[in-house]
Amino acid sequence: MMTEIAYHKGWTDGEIAEWLAGHLGKALAEREGLVAITVPGGSTPFPIFAELAKHDLDWSRIEIWPGDDRIVPATHEASNYGRLAAALSDTGAKVVELTEDAQPPHFTLAWLGMGLDGHVASLFPNTDPKVDDPAQVKRLTPDPLPPEAPFDRVTLTLPKFLTAEALMFVVKGDEKLALFEAAARGENDLPVARLLGAARNEIACFS
């Protein structure tokens, strides 16, 4: 059985950032060395990052990876890595570029968003993501290509997300939340449903 999902409805960006800071602080206290998390792109995370950056954490020990990215230069406006690096530049955190040959570390947390087609990261329905994919990182082409970002993608895979100690979703809007809840109940076979169906991680969903 999938881990029970903890739903947190009506939380502000500041409250989500405080929860995230608490998770990071606990992970930093429990182990030595780097603590790595993976985070989404898109518009939703950046106000949360702005709030998170205000927290007093040992940022020098925090490593942040995009869960997916567009195949564009880091200076391109569509680059998740570029936007992340800029948003967190004053914290001292290490932001790592996701490339096809990357060897991602163990993640204490995988923060994911979800599209209205049920995709997570760049694992769109047309890519038929599998929970037993032997790869940790894949290059792929969404179909249809989103008009606002018509680029090939590089993405972490479902099994890589499933190795994280915890999963965190931020799902804004009633329509998306209804789709997420249906996926959690196993009522569809969208990428998010495949991930949730195989998850044994702690799962939190903020909306």
Tens-binned pLDDT, residue by residue, of the chain (207 aa): 557 899 999 999 999 999 999 999 999 999 999 999 999 988 889 999 999 999 999 999 999 999 999 999 999 999 999 999 999 999 999 999 999 999 999 999 999 999 999 999 999 999 999 999 999 999 999 888 888 889 999 999 999 999 999 999 999 999 999 999 999 999 999 999 999 999 998 999 999
C-alpha to C-alpha distance for 17 and 34, rounded to whole angstroms: 20
Instruction: List the chain domain ranges.
Output: 5-206
8 A C-beta contact, residue 143 and residue 126: yes
- Please give the pLDDT value at position 55: 96
Look at residues 183, 77, 165 and name the one whose alpha carbon lies nearest to residue 123: 183
- Please give the pLDDT value at position 50: 94
CATH topology of domain 5-206: Rossmann fold (3.40.50)
- Please give the pLDDT value at position 170: 97
